[in-house]
Chain A
Amino acid sequence: MKFIVFGHANKDTEAGVLPTGEEFAKMGKFIEELVKAGVFVAGEGLQPSSKGARITFGKGGKTTIKNGPFTESKELIAGFSIIQVKSLDEAIAWMSRTPSPEGSSLEIRQLFSDEDFAPVDPTGELREQDAKLRAEADERHGKS
């Protein structure tokens, strides 16, 4: 099963402070460990929320755009990884050794897999449509 792991933002990530060379190396080593164990799937870091925007869908089709930064930094995300493991316990066991600074936190969430949608999509038609679009998107990004 696949899990996504969100790294929460803090003052530094929101200020766009880059990790030091040492921190970067430590994280690199940790990710290398995940890769070597066949666990790591993907991961990216996020720019500060000051470079982002939020869209709120209101009544009657009215949308509101709010530019960053967003102040409630507890809710903000600074990065994510996707890992493939056998259980939530295993995900916890791996991610507990993230070389994160004191006071920081991670959130682990299980990703839906194809079969999870069976109750709302009994014929599989919607899932097929979805898979087709993903394949097309990959192709356009030149991934295959």
Chain B
Amino acid sequence: MDETQRRIEAVFRIEWTRLLAGLARFVRGDLGAAEELAQDAFVAALETWPHDGIPRDPGAWLMQVAKNRALKRIDRQRRWGEKEVEIARVVEDRQERAADAIEKAADDDIGDDLLSLVFASCHPSLSAESRVALTLRVVAGLTTEEIACAFVVPESTAAQRIVRAKRTLAESGARFEVPRGPELAERLGSVLEVVYFVFNEGYVATAGAEWMRPALCEDALRLGRILAALMPGEAEVQGLVALMEIQASRIGARTSPDGTPIPLFEQNRARWDHFLVERGLAALKRGEALGGAPGPYLLQAGIAACHARARTPADTDWRRIVACYDQLAAATPSPIVELNRAVAVSFADGPAAGLRIVDQLAKLPALEGYHLVPAVRADFLSRLGRHGEARAELERAAALTKNDRERALLVARAAALGTGRS
């Protein structure tokens, strides 16, 4: 690819989301049509810009070209049935304001369109995987090839998911707008879930050869930062951004050169990205300053922040972490949260206190066969000097885990406890 084409592609990439958002509004929420128009505009740019140069405001140029195409199509085909009246009005409008249209496109507050696009991509009528695929395509601007690569599926599968998602959206008659009032909280939850899912898929890849895929983390972070800038008053958005920034700060310290995962307490903290930590703490502060009862993302960010602030594992403020877990368990009760709370309690109040919680948990059918329960129990038991019991628990955990690296680690820990009696 020659340099000019690369330049044009880069411009297109950074304009993509806003272009699509504006066009989606223009064609009343039809994402399929919006995407086609955006592609047409890109082709036009590839034809024109190499001779004329990249315009000073390429976004406005692309938007104008795409809208003109849309209007031409309507003039010719009139195939959008009931929307004709509305569109006819747009055509009249265009004739009146043709001169200042380009300028106006540049000055439009695109924030609402962009948010509408995000909410449409994460619409409840879509399946979880469709939401993720569509968000990555239309909001993050990834190509179908990149999306296929990220989730280790054939490109045709990824493409199909996106096509199907757009069709479902069109059929469900979902309105292209930012939800208001009580609906907002619910729909926002779905958006944040998608973003955090993308982040986690990069942080602990469930598919593919690599344990982490930092590029995916970066895409999620970018999405989060965009949301935070568009919805500065939503504490949970700030919370999610804080959580992701702090977790991402550990990426460089989470694996040894041969790719073996390094647990949090064994990581070299000097290798955490202090710049990301700082951004995360700032986002957390903004979220907390908004007041109200903290939601699950803000609370998890609070916990991550306690680790981020501790220069060494021994400096960790476990009291504060336990307090966060108490709130988290009250806000979103779950056995996994409880298990993590038990670990925090064991550091704040001693392993015996942690053991009491985990013994209760071990009785829950939901956690039956979950390898981390015996692994955590083993840790408490060994800290209490009950090595024989600890070893048995580690062996049980090793038999339960499905991850080879983890099994090796558990077996090694069991062996390290020796054969002595407890």
Contacts and interface: CB of A to CB of B under 8 A. Distances in A.
A37 B274 contact: no
A12 interface: no
A89 B10 contact: yes
Interface residues of B, number: 34
Contacts of A128: 268, 270-271
Interface string A127-138: 111011011001
B14 A131 contact: no
Contacts of B6: 89
Given A87-B10, A90-B14, A134 B230 contact: no
Nearest to B241: A38
B62 to A, nearest CB: 12
A80 interface: no
> Chain A interface residue count: which class?
20 to 34
Contacts of A135: 270, 272, 274, 311
A45 interface: no
B229 A144 contact: no
A143 B278 contact: yes
B274 A89 contact: no
Interface in B294-323: 308-309, 311
B57 A37 contact: no
A94 interface: yes
A114 interface: yes
B271 A38 contact: no
Contact of B226 (A38, A87, A92, A114): A38
B4 to A, nearest CB: 11
A36 B272 CA distance: 25
Interface in A43-59: none
B73 interface: no
Given A89-B10, A93-B10, A124 B309 contact: no
A15 interface: no
Which of A35, A38, A94, A135 has the most chain B CB within a 10 Å cutoff? Answer: A38
Given A35-B229, A38-B226, A89-B9, A131 B271 contact: yes
B226 A138 contact: no
A37 B14 contact: yes
A86 to B, nearest CB: 8
Contact of A96 (B54, B224, B271, B278): B54
Contact of A89 (B7, B56, B225, B308): B7
Interface in A95-144: 96-97, 114, 124, 127-129, 131-132, 134-135, 138, 143-144
B326 to A, nearest CB: 24
Interface string B209-240: 00000000000011111100110000000000
B274 A138 contact: yes
B7 A92 contact: yes
Nearest to B56: A97
A94 B14 contact: yes
Nearest to A41: B275
A31 B19 CA distance: 19
B14 A144 contact: no
B281 interface: yes
B252 A114 contact: yes
B241 to A, nearest CB: 10
A93 B270 contact: no
Interface in B235-292: 252, 268, 270-275, 277-278, 281
A143 B252 CA distance: 22
Interface in B1-55: 6-7, 9-11, 13-14, 54
Contacts of A124: 268, 271
Nearest to A130: B270
A144 B277 contact: yes
A38 B222 CA distance: 5
Given A38-B225, A128-B268, A90 B54 contact: no
7 contacts: A87-B10, A90-B14, A92-B10, A93-B7, A93-B14, A124-B271, A144-B308
A-B pairs, 4 with minimum CB distance: A38-B225, A89-B10, A38-B222, A93-B10
Interface of B: 6-7, 9-11, 13-14, 54, 56-58, 111, 221-226, 229-230, 252, 268, 270-275, 277-278, 281, 308-309, 311
Interface of A: 35-38, 41, 86-87, 89-90, 92-94, 96-97, 114, 124, 127-129, 131-132, 134-135, 138, 143-144
